[in-house]
Structure 1
Amino acid sequence: MSVPEPPPARPPTWEPDRRPDVAAGVAAGPWTPALSVTCASAACLVLVVVGVLAARPDVAVLGAAPLVLAVRALRARPTGAVDVRFEAGDDEDDLDVRGRAGRLQATLVVDGPGRWAAVTTTRQGRPGADVLVHAVGPRRLPVVARTVRTGPQEVATADVQGVGPDGVSVAEPTPAVTRSTVVLPATTPLLDLPLPRRLRGLTGPHESRRPGEGGGLRDVHPWVPGDRLRRIDWRVTARRSPDLSELYVRREHAQAEAVVVLVVDSRDDVGPDPRTWRGSVAPRPQDATSLDRARQAAASLARAYLEGGDRVGLDDLGVRRRPVPPGGGRRQLDRIRHTLALTAPEGQPAARLRPPRLPSGALVVVFSTFLDDESAAVAARWRNAGHRVVAVDVLPRLRVSGLYDRERLALRMMTLTREDRMAELADQDVELVTWRDEPAVTLRVLARRAQRHAGAGVPR
């Protein structure tokens, strides 16, 4: 039994252990005769009365036999209650984003004294499946929903009505039971990634500009007290000092790590249809919104940097709460993905007098639609403070078919203003990435732009 939706472009990942909100069992009321049985019994009773009054035994017998069977069935109707509950389905972690649908699974358990159960499922107010199942004993029904959205959402809502033997009696409909979960954003494989202007830490996966150990060759220098003997380059020593009056050692670059801060602008959650931007009409369920794209983009970058050994943090421009401090490891990725899934617009955001504080020398990645000046101004301030800033445009590809002339004009004016805003960011040395147009290639170009010398992304 499934609740169908159009197939999405990118699948999310469902992890139900993040919100263990399995619905408790709900019991139905008493059993009553079915309407068809009541009407048929009344008709048979009329036939019996007419046959008796008209002295027609054939007519009376014609109505007496069904009436006796109906009374016998009603006396044997069930007396217990129908129990309905949701259980979580198997956890799925589908990272393939090339066309397969994201699936949310749960199990509907129906248990009651009747032989049949009429099950009606809905999802977010839209009709789903309406089936009659054989329910002798506990019956487990798989419920599958397909979605392109991320964050808290409903898997399915079920209404169940028990049906007695031969359909003679029915139970009162059970109260609706709902299964909800948190859909975590999926990740996209990325290639090379840009690095901050200045690397930090005493060790890490990247080669820095300061002298140390673990990196590439820095230079060859005469031996001084403190140099290790195993670093002596005997070939250079033999060439420059054949009499061994002076020893030469090889010096290397130190290894360091990058600190990346992902900043999500949760103030806007718009879909590809501009008519839904006013908020009076909700975006279609099969359309991924800008916030869905921002979650996926941030989760993809977080996974790529963390797998490379860097430290990643998370902040939100839409709300004022404690950010996720930079950290590393698998747990940090799980924490960032769960925080991203719970990120959502929360009323009218307060104006910021100054941008959030960031670690020194961090790479800042801002995910926004840039429909207003707030996020662009914050990104420009971070760039003026010396950070390397990458602005990721997460606005979906717009669908302009069906718009009125005045709506097209308003959209055109908004697009021109937004393009001017993005051009100003580029003039202020903020690097731009459009997530809907091959982001992996653009990020790789930004990464190679600063790899012309040792210590990628670090000025001399």
Structure 2
Amino acid sequence: MSVPEPPPVRPPTWGADARSEAPGASGGPWTPALAVTCASAACLVLAVLGVVTGRPDVAVLGAAPLVLAVRALRGRPTGDVRARLEAADGDDDPDARGRAGHLHAVLHVEGPARWASVTLTRQGRPGADVLVRVAGARRLPVVARTVRTGPQEVAAADVQGVGPDGASVAEPTPAVTRSTVVLPATTPLLDLPLPTRLRGLTGPHESRRPGEGGGLRDVHPWVPGDRLRRIDWRVTARRSPDLRELYVRREHAQAEAVVVLVVDSRDDLGPDPRTWRGSIAPRPQDATSLDRSRQAAASLARAYLDRGDRVGLDDLGVRRRAVPPGGGRRQLDRIRHALALTAPEGEPAARLRPPRLPSGALVVVFSTFLDDESAAVAARWRTAGHRVVAVDVLPRPRTSGLYDRERLALRLMTLTREDRMAELVDQDVELVTWRDQPAITLRVLARRTQRRAGAGVPR
């Protein structure tokens, strides 16, 4: 059983925070169905009319269905019909269900009913309306397709028991619902840009500092503190045949990058410009700018963490504790879960200064850049010496069906936004548009700092 929804764009799901309301049970006696009541009344009138008019054939014609209806009503079941929505098997594997693009649940129907009428809805939109055989208990899989991320409803179910031959029905059960947290999916990325200054004495990248683990730095005369195993005997034999001086090979040190992902959760805009005022909600089948921000941030977090770097997360729209930079699989799970719970929370307070960042971090800002605040914060970080990448997550506007004044307003807003982003580029903030092949753009930005090992890293 599936809840029909528009085709998915890209779906990520996770059910660890899924919950279901208390199981619903129908109360009260079983009542005759409306069709049976009307048919019985018509047969009774027909039987009485046959007796009054002296037509036994007419009376028998009405009496036979009436006897069957009375027999069915006397055999109607007793007891309550119970329904509950639970998690599907394997609901704890977010990656597998994210690739499938569906939200899964299981509807359990129990009770004395032989049949049950099940009505499924999702987010107030009509879904499936089916009649299923129960015969004591029935387990029905429920699948809903979605393009959204974050907390959302899987389905809401209303169940009504139906007696033998459909002659009686039970009271409808209270609606049972199930909610889940949909994690953002990730897309594979190629090369990634690095900060202008690497940190630490170990990591996946080669710095300009002397150390161990990297490529050859130079060959230098031996000094106290150099390890004997680093002596290059060939160079020593060539430069000092009498072994008066030893030469050692020195290497570059390994270092790691610190990346801070900053999401602007103040805007949650769909492709329809008429919904940007906030009075109309975006359509459920349209991915919003916040969905794109979650996907982009999760993709970059996975790519950097897989390379051994440290990644943190902050939010411009709310004042709460940021996710500090860290590494490993657990850090990716923390970031994805924090991204899924990111949502607009009323009118955000004005910031007097941008959030604090680790020294030398690469800052990636995900925003629609429809106002000056996110652009101003990105420019301040760039002035402070951080390398800043601005990711534009605004969906491509859908202009069909707009009035002339709405088209004019959209044109003015687009021009203002383009000017704002051009100013960011002039301030040396690198720009990436997520809807236009972001992997290629990020690869171009990565090659700008690959002139040599550890380019831009001070000694």
Could you say which TM-score interval applies, normalised by the shorter chain? over 0.9
SS in 1 for 2:86: strand
Residue identity matched to 2:368: T
Q: Structure 2 stretches of 5 or more lacking a match?
A: none
**1:51 Cα deviation (Å)?**
3.1
SS in 1 for 2:131: strand
Rounded to whole Å, the distance in 2 between the matches of 1:457 and 1:121 is 59
**1:53 Cα deviation (Å)?**
3.1
Q: Percent identity?
A: 86
TM-score normalized by the length of structure 1? 0.96
> Which position in structure 2 is the counterpart of 1:419?
418
Q: Is the 8 A contact 2:76 2:163 kept in 1?
A: yes
- The alignment covers a number of residue pairs equal to 456
Rounded to whole Å, the distance in 1 between the matches of 2:438 and 2:57 is 84
State how 1:54-453 maps to structure 2 within 5 Å. Answer: 54-89=53-88, 90-91=90-91, 93-94=94-95, 102-453=101-452
Rounded to whole Å, the distance in 2 between the matches of 1:32 and 1:264 is 56
Residue identity matched to 1:122: T
Residue identity matched to 2:19: D
SS in 2 for 1:339: helix
SS in 1 for 2:20: coil
Rounded to whole Å, the distance in 1 between the matches of 2:456 and 2:271 is 36
**1:459 Cα deviation (Å)?**
5.0
- Alignment CA distance shift 1:95-1:68 (3 Å): closer
- Alignment CA distance shift 1:39-1:116 (3 Å): same
Rounded to whole Å, the distance in 1 between the matches of 2:272 and 2:96 is 27
Q: Is the 8 A contact 2:12 2:97 kept in 1?
A: no
> Which position in structure 2 is the counterpart of 1:5?
5
Rounded to whole Å, the distance in 1 between the matches of 2:9 and 2:35 is 47
> Which position in structure 2 is the counterpart of 1:24?
22
**1:60 Cα deviation (Å)?**
2.7
SS in 1 for 2:19: coil
Q: Is the 8 A contact 1:8 1:101 kept in 2?
A: no
Q: Is the 8 A contact 2:118 2:159 kept in 1?
A: yes
Q: Structure 1 stretches of 5 or more lacking a match?
A: none
Q: Is the 8 A contact 2:23 2:84 kept in 1?
A: yes
- Alignment CA distance shift 1:235-1:96 (3 Å): farther
Rounded to whole Å, the distance in 2 between the matches of 1:265 and 1:458 is 30
Q: Is the 8 A contact 1:85 1:108 kept in 2?
A: yes
Which deviates further from its counterpart, 285-294 or 447-456?
447-456
Which deviates further from its counterpart, 331-340 or 276-285?
276-285
Rounded to whole Å, the distance in 2 between the matches of 1:353 and 1:249 is 53
Residue identity matched to 1:8: P
Rounded to whole Å, the distance in 1 between the matches of 2:268 and 2:166 is 49
Deviations 1:308-355 (A, max 9, x none): 111111000000000001111111100100000000000001000000
Rounded to whole Å, the distance in 2 between the matches of 1:108 and 1:281 is 32
Rounded to whole Å, the distance in 1 between the matches of 2:387 and 2:97 is 31
**1:96 Cα deviation (Å)?**
11
Q: Is the 8 A contact 1:23 1:87 kept in 2?
A: no
> Over aligned residues, Cα RMSD in angstroms?
1.6
Q: Is the 8 A contact 2:77 2:163 kept in 1?
A: yes
Which deviates further from its counterpart, 54-63 or 244-253?
54-63
**1:66 Cα deviation (Å)?**
2.1
Rounded to whole Å, the distance in 2 between the matches of 1:222 and 1:13 is 57
Rounded to whole Å, the distance in 2 between the matches of 1:339 and 1:95 is 20
SS in 1 for 2:313: strand
**1:218 Cα deviation (Å)?**
1.0
**1:32 Cα deviation (Å)?**
0.2
Deviations 1:384-415 (A, max 9, x none): 11111111111111111221111111111111
Rounded to whole Å, the distance in 2 between the matches of 1:326 and 1:314 is 7
Rounded to whole Å, the distance in 2 between the matches of 1:365 and 1:332 is 17
Residue identity matched to 1:371: L
Residue identity matched to 1:120: T
TM-score normalized by the length of structure 2? 0.96
Rounded to whole Å, the distance in 2 between the matches of 1:63 and 1:457 is 97
**1:63 Cα deviation (Å)?**
2.3
Rounded to whole Å, the distance in 2 between the matches of 1:459 and 1:402 is 56
Which deviates further from its counterpart, 381-390 or 45-54?
45-54
Rounded to whole Å, the distance in 1 between the matches of 2:96 and 2:373 is 33
Q: Is the 8 A contact 1:101 1:146 kept in 2?
A: no
Rounded to whole Å, the distance in 1 between the matches of 2:271 and 2:50 is 71
SS in 2 for 1:16: strand
Residue identity matched to 1:22: S
Rounded to whole Å, the distance in 2 between the matches of 1:398 and 1:53 is 75
Deviations 1:350-392 (A, max 9, x none): 0000000011111111000100000000001111111111111
**1:4 Cα deviation (Å)?**
1.6
Deviations 1:187-215 (A, max 9, x none): 00011111111111121111111111101
Deviations 1:87-134 (A, max 9, x none): 11233545799xx76111111111121111111111111111111111
- Alignment CA distance shift 1:94-1:325 (3 Å): closer
Residue identity matched to 2:362: L
Residue identity matched to 2:8: P
Rounded to whole Å, the distance in 1 between the matches of 2:455 and 2:404 is 50
Rounded to whole Å, the distance in 2 between the matches of 1:167 and 1:422 is 65
